[in-house]
């Protein structure tokens, strides 16, 4: 199994990108590892967990809370997990976030690694070391930046991934293409979701490309001072929408990217909004949605990216080149309300 090692400020991460869960025992000792997964993944792939200590959680973002962390910690104590234990998160973004969080605080920090099973977790959530939980309406308000020891990919898990989760993953893939990779954007334009789903090698390559693209962005700016902020393309408006409407993360940021393209057009002379919108629609994502501008703007202006009376907004200069622009809140309000 091929291993690539990437260095971050105070740790390094081993990537096994075209791997298999069958190789997990070569990365961690089966006796001292504990897998954390959720019921959907466990039920669809039960035989793959045979012989491993496993904690199975209920699926869903609503369980990404401190109570679940406490339950896991109680089980770890019961299982006599100690400083030599490695936690392995096998799942989507909720599982990787939770695993990294618990591993970072249990006994002041134990080793952890990820086997992301959703497309979104493979290309995004498992990479970059952000681990955390939600409290009430506040997403990821409690957490820590700490890199996993390893990331192992096994495409076999995608066989059971629901269609809506494929679309979610593609929203982040399109985001990566928009901000950093014009060639990948063209590839997405000339392909379809069905083609990627049918062709193992195509999705495998696309996943690797995206995982490495995000890794490089994070390596340059692990603690999100500048470059890493590009990854928030579509997310400022997206998060505000996600909080108030019944939208998946992918759907919300897709609408966010559509509007960010229009803002780019107005402020940055961006000329390719139609291409962005066409690709998003091609991968089953919503673009122009009507929403209550006042209500959403009130949430949006409280975003973490705000600095006093200005908001750091990710815009496109052209496809493949994202830039961060500080926009006065008043101006942003009139642009968004005018769209």
Q: Does 251 bind ligand ADP (CB under 6 A)?
A: no
Which range, of 4-12, 87-95, 144-152, 257-265, touches ligand ADP by CB under 6 A?
87-95
Which range, of 6-14, 115-123, 141-149, 238-246, touches ligand ADP by CB under 6 A?
115-123
146 assigned to active site: no
Q: Do 202 and 184 touch, CB atoms closer than 8 A?
A: no
Residue 81, both tokens: 């997990």
Q: Does 121 bind ligand ADP (CB under 6 A)?
A: yes
Q: Do 242 and 255 touch, CB atoms closer than 8 A?
A: no
Q: Does 52 bind ligand ADP (CB under 6 A)?
A: no
Taking the CA atoms of 116, 141, 292 and 314 in sequence, report the sign of the dihedral they define.
negative
- Closest Cα to residue 174, out of 162, 186, 158? 186
Q: Does 59 bind ligand ADP (CB under 6 A)?
A: yes
Q: How far apart are CA 311 and CA 239, in angstroms?
A: 14
239 assigned to active site: yes
Q: How far apart are CA 2 and CA 14, in angstroms?
A: 10
CB atoms near residue 5 (< 10 Å): 9
* Residue among 6, 14, 61, 65 that touches ligand ADP (CB under 6 A): 61
Minimum distance between the CB of residue 38 and ligand ADP, rounded to whole angstroms?
5
Which range, of 73-81, 156-164, 226-234, 307-315, touches ligand ADP by CB under 6 A?
156-164
CB of 120 or CB of 179, closer to ligand ADP: 120
Q: Does 165 bind ligand ADP (CB under 6 A)?
A: yes
Which range, of 33-41, 103-111, 191-199, 252-260, touches ligand ADP by CB under 6 A?
33-41
The single residue of 64, 209, 228, 262 carrying the catalytic annotation is 228
Q: Do 177 and 130 touch, CB atoms closer than 8 A?
A: no
Decide the pairing of beta strands 138-145 and 130-135.
Answer: antiparallel
Q: Do 175 and 316 touch, CB atoms closer than 8 A?
A: no
Q: How far apart are CA 175 and CA 237, in angstroms?
A: 14
Active site residues: 108, 130, 172, 214, 224, 228, 232, 235, 239, 249
Site residues for ligand ADP per CB under 6 A: 38, 40-41, 44, 59, 61, 91-95, 117-118, 120-121, 125, 157, 160-161, 165, 168
């Amino acid at each position: 199994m091929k291993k690539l090692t990437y260095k971050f400020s105070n740790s390094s991460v081993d990537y096994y990108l075209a791997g298999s869960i069958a190789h997990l025992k070569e990365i961690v000792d089966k006796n001292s590892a504990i897998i954390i997964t959720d019921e959907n993944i466990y039920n669809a792939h039960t035989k793959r967990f045979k012989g491993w200590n496993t904690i199975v959680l209920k699926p869903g973002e609503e369980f990404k809370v401190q109570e679940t962390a406490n339950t896991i910690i109680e089980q770890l104590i019961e299982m006599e997990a100690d400083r030599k234990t490695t936690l392995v998160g096998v799942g989507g973004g909720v599982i990787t976030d939770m695993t990294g969080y618990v591993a970072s605080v249990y006994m002041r920090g134990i080793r952890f690694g990820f086997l992301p099973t959703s497309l979104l977790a493979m290309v995004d959530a498992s990479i970059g070391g952000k681990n955390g939980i939600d409290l009430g309406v506040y997403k990821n308000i409690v957490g820590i930046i700490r890199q996993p020891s390893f990331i192992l990919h096994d495409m076999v898990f995608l066989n059971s991934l629901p269609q809506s989760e494929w679309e979610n993953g593609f929203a982040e893939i399109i985001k990566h293409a928009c901000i950093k990779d014009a060639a990948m954007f063209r590839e997405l334009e000339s392909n379809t979701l069905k083609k990627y789903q049918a062709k193992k090698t195509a999705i495998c390559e696309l996943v690797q490309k995206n995982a490495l693209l995000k890794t490089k962005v994070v390596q340059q700016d692990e603690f999100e001072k500048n470059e890493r902020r590009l990854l928030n393309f579509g997310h400022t408006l997206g998060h505000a929408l996600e909080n108030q409407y019944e939208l998946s993360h992918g759907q919300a940021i897709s609408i966010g990217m559509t509007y960010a393209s229009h803002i780019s057009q107005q402020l940055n002379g961006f000329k390719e909004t139609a291409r962005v919108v066409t690709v998003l629609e091609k991968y089953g994502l919503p673009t122009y949605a009507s929403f209550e501008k006042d209500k959403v703007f009130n949430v949006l202006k409280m975003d973490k990216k705000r600095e006093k009376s200005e908001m750091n907004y990710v815009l496109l200069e052209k496809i493949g080149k994202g830039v961060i622009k500080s926009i006065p809140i008043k101006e942003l309000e009139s642009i968004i309300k005018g769209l």
